[in-house]
Chains A and B, each alone.
Chain A
Amino acid sequence: MKRSGLIILSIAILISTLGVFTIYSSTYQKEQKQFKALYTRQIFWLILGLAAFFIVSQIDYRHFWDITYFLYIFTILLLSMVVMFGVVRLGAQRWLKVAWVNFQPSEIAKLTIVIFLARYFSKKTIDSIASAVARFKILKGVIAPFLFVIIPVGLIVGQPDLGSGAMIFIVFIMILFFSGIKLKYVFMLIGAIIASLPILWRFLLFDYQKERLLVFLDPNIDPLGAGYTIIQSKIAIGSGGLWGRGWLSGTQSQLHFLPESHTDFIFAAFSEQWGFFGSLLLLVLYYMIIRYGLLIARRTKDDFARILAFGLTAMLGTQVFINIAMNMGLAPVVGLPLPLMSYGGSSMLVTFISLGILANIDKTRTVF
């Protein structure tokens, strides 16, 4: 393993460990037993994630090229299964029960779509150049990939999981931009999306989603309802102050004023305990993963690897940004976990697999 991969791994382990501690602090005094055990399960997921990382980092990433279409169809299948016999939790049907675990196919979809797009915008041969992509017309450059992306995204949004859907879409646009498509096409797509927003609002969004978006603009319109989470999250972060309130001492998360303090709002719980300096450290750690991810993307000579590395990094970075922004009231409350920190096996596993792919790209770049 090369240096960048090692650094990414170390940071990922560090963040995940902080995550385990935060999950412990948020759940250790809940009444229900299953909550108290959450951190041990997260440790289990972390170990599983690490194992996945080591396995994936040993597999040549070019195998993903080979199985792209299989992966794509497999993912669509999984997402359809969610619609048909998924497990309903918290009012959304996002989980599939396999053996004894519930897992979230939308997490796998994130990975699949990145791989798919990386293959779409690159050639298998090493001598292909990005200029080939630059010659793409609108049909091949935008509309065709859009259609491929919209099928899984549509299934995800229908779960309903607006956050993941929107997030994948943002990553799609970032990959479009990065692949070398003519800029005007990118902007045309963005323009088209903006133009269709009112229609989406009218027909696609559930009332509670609309409420969340409105509340984002002004949390005080419904302080005890939809605005509650965001108000409590801001209070939790703000009350951390410079040095934080200390381990296990944050009243917002300890006394459960902050909902979802072990999943989507884990950043607020962390921030309350460790204050500005702790949170800053966390931001820097995430920033470094992204930095090294992009470094790997830049260094590799393989188009597929480059787009893949970029896409995986963008996926991670976008999730981190949206989640933290949402915690601080800068983005609407959408159900997006904070990768590596939030409790959840699927997210943990998929994130470590992504990082494993990155590490593998980093390792194999000098082959060419």
Chain B
Amino acid sequence: MRIKTTFLIITLFFLLLFLRLANLQIMHGKVYRSLSQRNCIRLLPQEGIRGAILDSEERIIADSSLAYDLMVLADIKEIPEESLKEMAAILETDIKDLKPELKKRRSLSFIPLTLVEKLDIKKAFALEELKSQLGNVVIQPSSIRTYPYNQLACHVLGYLNEIDRSRLKKLSDYGYKSQDLIGFGGIEEEYDKDLRQEEGGLSVEVDHRGRFVRALGFKPPINGKKVQLTLDLRLQQLAEKCLGERTGSIVVMDPQDGAIKAMVSSPGFNPGIFIDRSNQQLRRLLNNPDAPLINRAISSSYPAGSIFKIVVAAAALETGKINLSTTFTCPGSIKMGNLEFGCWNKHGPVNLLSAIKYSCNVFFYRVGLLVGAQIIHDYALKFGFSKPTGIDLPYENTGFVPSPLWKRFSKLKNWYDGDTLNLSIGQGDLLVTPLQVARMMAVFANKGVLVDPYIVKAIQDEKVPVSKGRTLNLKKTTLEYIRAGLKKVVSDQGATAHVLADLGVDVAGKTGTAQVGRDKEPHGWFAGFLPFAEPKFVICVFLEYGKTGYAASLVGKQLIADMLKEGFI
């Protein structure tokens, strides 16, 4: 009977339906469930606010304020023409400009599209009032960095920019996404994980036309932590003013614990231009041969010049090669093989104190030969050279101290006495950063402790633990003699930094004029501390191609004078 065949066929067809049902609901149920959720759930990300950066007195150097983005939830067809017109009027654009923009990204209907970024607050409020008519328009606040003092302390702060590929690769495990803003350089980079806000958001259910149905969940955004620096805003301002247009750097540090009070690098930049994305300004900044983005205080190293003689003196005193009565005669130069190594004057007979005072090269040539290059190298390392200081800022340059071993192994050349002479007066292959110099100077200010410089005082009001530094176990006499020498540099008539004598505060210090090359002006250094009896500040002034240490000490003088006037000392 054909009825049985028919029945069989119908049964088979129902079996087919059954299998399809099982395939859709059991095997692929999860896929379709997520598809249905994607259909009806929209995520409205809500950004927190990036943490502010404050100075030691809680003044805000880098702040975050809210900017408003205009987002559209639904299809453009759902927005009435009238409302679009009003919206265009508020945005001060033509309705025709608005429409293609809306249509362009229609295909990704499950993502609310951002129509206009960074609206000013007036427009945002005007749109917010219109919202009941527009229906599917969302005004979304987002965090935007502001710099109330513009360029001030720009190198310390760093800047914010869209994350680049190499950073994204490293940080994607920590929740960073492409197009995130991330700190580049300075505190913004070093403390990005603290400053960074955490995105929260609202998940809403929408119907088939993208119209809001109800809110499903809300994860509040978490604001970034505020970071308080040891920097004193007013001191920073003074330092920046004193350095002015000159290329170079100033570091002001507390010699007792290594807290950075001011750190200037010039030329600087305005971190705000990375926010505004003004291309022209950005290009000018990136193409500037003076490299304004580099923090000269820590990220670039230079020959130290006479400043380094202090290290040589300390090495000689510690090893007992000289004492206060050791005297050499300076005839204006010294001959080594065929080469003549000059001094900048004929000093006649000099001992340690007068050698420091006049910065006599010949005395230190002799001492250098007595002590030997390797021991000078070792002491230089002891004073923190050729290593990063460990300051909590990124991209620190290690500097470099040459040694006979290094020359033999990496340059495959012998170390000559001439090299020792160069090292003894801080020339040759020696490279230091202004911060390293300030740190070395601090050892004589605080009488024997190599402090660890730091710049962040507290994160979200929680004090950052401060390192006590390392006691170098220098002999009392060593410290005493060198401190006396440094004092004479300022106090004695005719000494290299005598210009600072009339400030009304006892300053000790050392100048340096570092030869760079034949056709370039030498770098100028001045490093010192004050007040002499109980030092509160170590100052290091570095002038790139600044001609002389004298020029640097003039900048130092100006700064100290201003500090006195402002009541810092």
Q: Is the CB of A241 within 8 A of B39?
A: no
Question: Per a CB cutoff under 8 Å, which of B7, B10, B205 touches A251?
Answer: B205
Q: How far is the CB of B564 from chain A (nearest CB, A)?
A: 73
Q: With A238-B31, A283-B14, A298-B3 in contact, is A252–B36 under 8 Å at CB?
A: yes
Interface of A is mostly: helix
Interface residue tally of chain B, by bracket? Answer: 35 or more
B89 in the interface (beta carbon within 8 A): no
> In the bound complex, do residue A238 and residue B10 qualify as a contact, i.e. CB atoms below 8 Å apart?
no
Is A294 in contact with B7, judged by CB distance below 8 angstroms?
A: yes
Chain A residue at minimal CB-CB distance from B31: A238
Knowing A178-B2, A241-B29 are in contact, say whether A255-B40 is a contact too (CB < 8 A): yes
Q: How far is the CA of A328 from the CA of B32 in the complex (A)?
A: 12
B533 at interface, CB cutoff 8 A: no
Within 8 Å of chain A (Cβ to Cβ): is B208? yes
Is the pair B20, A276 in contact by a Cβ cutoff of 8 Å? no
Pick from B26, B35, B206, B213: contact of A239, CB under 8 Å: B35
Q: What chain B residues lie within 8 Å of A275 (beta carbons)?
A: 25
| Residue pair A178, B35 in contact (C-beta under 8 Å) | no
- For the complex, give the distance between the alpha carbons of A330 and B1 in Å: 30
CB of B207 within 8 Å of the partner chain: yes
Q: What does the 1/0 interface line of B203-225 toward A look like (CB < 8 Å)?
A: 00111110001000000000000
CA distance A358 to B39 in the complex (A): 44
Per-residue interface assignment for chain A, residues 229 to 271, with 1 indicating a CB less than 8 Å from any chain B CB and 0 otherwise: 0001011111111100000000110011100000000000001
Contact with A along B1-15 (1 / 0, CB 8 A): 111001100110110
| Cα-based distance from A178 to B207 in the complex (angstroms) | 48
Check if B569 is an interface residue, CB within 8 A of chain A. Answer: no
Closest residue of chain A to B209 (Cβ to Cβ) is: A256
Tell me the count of chain A residues lying within 8 A, CB to CB, of chain B.
42
A242 to B22, CA, bound (A): 9
* Residue of A with least CB distance to B32: A238
**Which residues of chain A in 187-235 are interfacial with respect to chain B, using CB atoms and an 8 Å cutoff?**
232, 234-235
B286 contacts partner chain A, Cβ-Cβ < 8 Å: no
| Contacts known (A177-B6, A279-B25, A283-B18); A238 close to B33, Cβ less than 8 A | yes
A185 part of interface (Cβ distance < 8 Å): no
- When A256-B208, A283-B18 are in contact, do A321 and B13 touch as well, CB less than 8 Å? yes
What are the nearest 9 A-B pairs in CB distance?
Answer: A238-B32, A241-B29, A239-B36, A255-B207, A276-B25, A239-B33, A238-B24, A257-B208, A256-B208
18 contacts between A and B (CB under 8 A): A177-B2, A234-B32, A238-B29, A239-B29, A239-B33, A242-B25, A242-B29, A276-B21, A276-B26, A276-B29, A283-B14, A286-B14, A290-B10, A294-B6, A298-B3, A310-B6, A317-B10, A325-B20
A238-B33, A276-B22, A321-B17 known; 11 new pairs, CB 8 Å cut-off, are A232-B39, A238-B28, A238-B32, A252-B40, A255-B206, A255-B208, A275-B25, A287-B11, A294-B6, A328-B21, A329-B20
B residues apposed to A, CB below 8 Å: 1-3, 6-7, 10-11, 13-14, 16-18, 20-22, 24-26, 28-33, 35-37, 39-40, 205-209, 213
